[in-house]
Structure 1
Amino acid sequence: MNTLALALQQYFTSYAQAQRDLSPNTIAAYRDTWRILIKHLTEVLGVNADEIDFDALTAELVTGFLDHLEQVRGNSVATRNARLTAIRAVLTRAQPDTPEHAGTITRILAIPTKRRAKPIVEFLDTAETNALLAAPDRTTWTGLRDHTLLALDIQTGLRISELCSLSTSDIHLGTGAHVTCTGKGRRHRATPLTAATAALLTGYLDQRTNKPGTVLFCGPRGQQLSRDAVEHRLAVHLATARTHCPSLTEKKVTMHTLRHTSAMNLLAAGVDLAVISLWLGHQNTHSTDVYLHADMTIKQTALDRTRPADVRPGAYHPEPDVLSWLASL
C-alpha cells in the first residue's frame, strides 16, 4: 500500500468519523470525489490505481481534473468547488504525516475555488403549488404518500435528505403539532405544522400502519426512499401538473425548489428573515438573504416608497397667497 492509499485509509476509517464526526452524506461525497479523481488519473497517466501516489498528484493534474468535471462531465461550478473541498480535506489531514510531499500538497491546497454568479432562487407561486399538489392520485397508496410528502415539504421547507430520513416518531400531532429532524451540521430542529398539514399526516399515518418499518415515507417493502427515488416521483407529478399549469414548463423544479417555496411563502407573510433562517436550519442569516433578492414584491414596495424625481425634497409648505394656490389647482 503506497503513501496516498494509506492516507486515504486513515482519513476515511478513523479520522472522518471518529475525530471529525462528519455526517454520512459528507463522508460519502468525499469518498466519491476521490474515486472519480483516481479513475481520472489512471486514464490520464495510463497506470493502475494502485500506482497512483503523491508523486502523481500534482497541482496541474488536480486542476485538469476540476476542468474535466465541468467540461466533460457537465458539472456545475458549485460541484467543482465541492470536489476541491473534498480533496483539500484529505490532503490537509495527510500533510503533517508526509513531510516529504509537503511541497506538492501545499501547491494543491493553494488551488483557489472558482467564482460563480449566484442564481436567483426559483420557487412556485400559489397556482403552481396547487397544481403540483393536485397531481398525485390520492386514491392509491403511492399517490397519498407522494401528496403528503410534497405538502409537508412545501409547508416545512425540509431538505430532501431530512425528508428521506424521517421516521413516524418524528411526527408529533395534537396540540402544538410539529416535526423534528436532524439537519446539516447535526443541528436538531422542530418545525411547527399547520392544521391542514397535521390533518393530512393523520390520515396518511392511518394508512401507513399497513406497511412494515418505521420510515415515514417508505417504499413498498417499508424501506427508506432514496434521494433519486423522491426526485423521480416529483418528476412524474410535475409532468401531470404541467398539463394544467403551463407556467411550470418554464421552471426547473426540484425538491430544493419546494424548500425555496416554503421560504418565500414565509417571507411573503411578513416573517422576519432571522426566523426563516431558523425555520430552514441555516447556520446564519447569510444563507437566507437570497430570498430577499428573489422577492420582487419587497423590491416593488421599496420602489413605491422612493421619492419621484420631479418632487423637491423637504417638508411641505403651503403657498402664502391662498387664493393663488387655489386658482392653480
Structure 2
Amino acid sequence: MNTLAAELQTYFGGFARSQRDLSDHTIAAYRDTWRMLITFLADKTGTRPERIDIEDVNAENIAAFLDYLEHDRGNSVATRNARLSGIRAVLAHAMPRQLDHAAMLSRALSIPAKRHPKPMLEYLTIDESDALTAAPDRTTWTGRRDHALFALAIQTGLRISELCSLTCTDIHLGAAASVTCTGKGRRTRATPLTSTTTAIMTGYLAERRSRPGEALFCGPRGQQLSRDALEHRLHVHVDTAVVDCASLADKHVTMHTLRHTAAMNLLAGGVDISVIALWLGHQRTQSTDAYLHADMSVKQAAIDRTRPGDTKPGIYRPEPDILAWLATL
C-alpha cells in the first residue's frame, strides 16, 4: 500500500465520520471525486490506478483534472469547485503527516475556487405550484404519495436530502402541526405546517402506516426513496402539469426549485429575511439574500419610494411667507 492509499483509507475509514462527522452524502461525493481523480491520473500517466501515489496529486495535475471536469465532462463551475473541496479535504488532513511533501501539498491546497456568475433563482408562481401539485394521479398510491411530497416540499422548503431522510415519526399532527428534520451541519429544526398541508399529510399518513418501512416517502417495498428517484418523479409530473400550465415548459424545475418557491412565498407574504433564513435552515442570513435579488416586487417597491425624475436636487427649505404658501394649497 502506497502513501496515497494509506491517507485515503485513514480519511474515509475513520476521520471523515468520527472526527468531522460528515454526512453520508458528503462522504460519497468526496469518495467519487477521488475515484475520478485517480482514474484521470492513471489515464494521463499511463500508470495503473493502484500505483498513483501522493506525489502525483500535485497542483499541475489537479488543475488539469479540474479543466477536464469543466471542459471534457461538461460539469458546471459549481461542480468543479465542489470536486476541488473534496480533494482539499483529504490533502489538508494528510499534510501534517507528510512533511516531505509539504511544499507540494501547500501548492495544491492553494488552488482557488473558480469564480462564476450566479444565475437568478428560479421558482414557481402560485399557478405553477397548483398545477404541479395537481399533476399526480391520486387514484394510485404513487400519485397520492407524490401529491403529499410536493405539497410538503413547496410549503416547508425542505432540502431534497431532508425530504429523503424523513420518517413517519418526523411528522407531528395536531393543534401545532410541524415536521422535524436534521439538515446541513447536523442542525435540527422544526417547520410548522399549514392547515392545508396538515390535511394532506393526515390522509397520506393514514395510508402510509399500512405499508412496510419507516421512510415517510417510500418506494414499493417501503424503502427510502433516493434523490434521483425524487427528481425523476418531479420531472414526470412537470411534463403532465405543462398541459394545464404552459409557463412550466420554460423553466428548469428541480426539487431545489420547490425550496426556492417556499422562500419566495414567505418573502411575498412580508416575512422578514432573517425569519426566512431560520425557516430554511440557513446558518447565515447572507445565504438568504439571494431571494431579495430574485423578487422583482421588492425592487419595484424601492423604485416607487424614490423621488420623481423631475425633482430638483437639494435640501428642502420652507417658503419664507408661510401664509402665502398655505394659500396656494
Alignment TM-score, normalising by the size of structure 2: 0.96
Q: Go from structure 1 to structure 2 and tell me whether the alpha carbon gap of 1:263 and 1:316 turns closer, same or farther (over 3 Å shift).
A: farther
How far does the alpha carbon of each residue in 1:62-95 deviate from its partner, in whole angstroms, 9 at most, with x for none?
Answer: 0010011111111111111111111111001101
Query: 2:105 aligned with 1:105, yes or no?
Result: yes
Equivalent residue for 1:192?
192
On the 8 A contact 1:319/1:325 being kept in 2, the answer is no
Question: How far apart are 1:2 and its partner, in Å?
Answer: 0.2
Separation (CA, whole Å) in 2 of partners of 1:16 and 1:119: 32
Aligned equivalents of 2:195 and 2:324: distance in 1? Answer: 62
* CA-to-aligned-CA distance 1:236-291 (integer Å, 9 cap, x gap): 00001111111111110000000000000000000011100000000010100000
- What amino acid is the match of 2:211? K
Helix, strand or coil at the partner of 1:300: helix
Q: Which aligned runs of 4 or more in structure 1 are off by greater than 3 angstroms?
A: 315-326
Say whether residues 1:284 and 2:284 are aligned partners.
yes
Summarize deviations over 1:152-201 as a string: whole Å, max 9, x none.
Answer: 00000000000010000000000110000000000000000001100100
Q: What is the number of equivalent residue pairs in this alignment? A: 326
Q: 2: distance between equivalents of 1:123 and 1:251?
A: 9
Does 2:36 correspond to 1:30?
Answer: no
> Does residue 254 of the first structure (1) align with residue 257 of the second (2)?
no
Look up the equivalent residue of 1:109 and give its one-letter code: L
Cα distance in 1, alignment partners of residues 132 and 292 from structure 2: 24
Q: Aligned-pair RMSD on alpha carbons?
A: 1.5
Q: Are the structure 2 counterparts of residues 323 and 11 from structure 1 closer, same or farther at C-alpha, using a change threshold of 3 Å?
A: closer
| 1:103 Cα deviation after fit | 1.6
Cα deviation for residue 24 of structure 1 reads 1.2
Deviation at 1:323, TM superposition (A): 11
Q: What SS does the aligned partner of 2:190 have?
A: strand
DSSP-derived class of the 2:189 partner: strand
Amino acid at match of 1:304: D
5+ residue gaps, structure 1, are none
> How much identity, in percent, do the aligned residues show?
63
Residue identity in the other structure for 2:145: R
| In 2: Cα distance, 1:3 partner to 1:180 partner | 43
What is the CA deviation profile of residues 32-86 of structure 1, one whole-angstrom value per residue up to 9, with x for unaligned ones? 1101100111111111111100222221110010011111111111111111111
1:13 aligns with 2:18: no
1:98-131 alpha-carbon deviations (Å, 9 max, x no partner): 1111121111001111001111111000111111
Contact 1:54 1:104 in 2 (8 A): no
Is it true that 1:234 corresponds to 2:234 in the alignment?
yes
Separation in structure 1 between the aligned mates of residue 91 and residue 325 of structure 2, nearest angstrom? 81
Structure 2 stretches lacking a partner, 5+ long: none
Q: Where in structure 2 are the equivalents of 1:81-92 lying within 5 Å?
A: 81-92=81-92
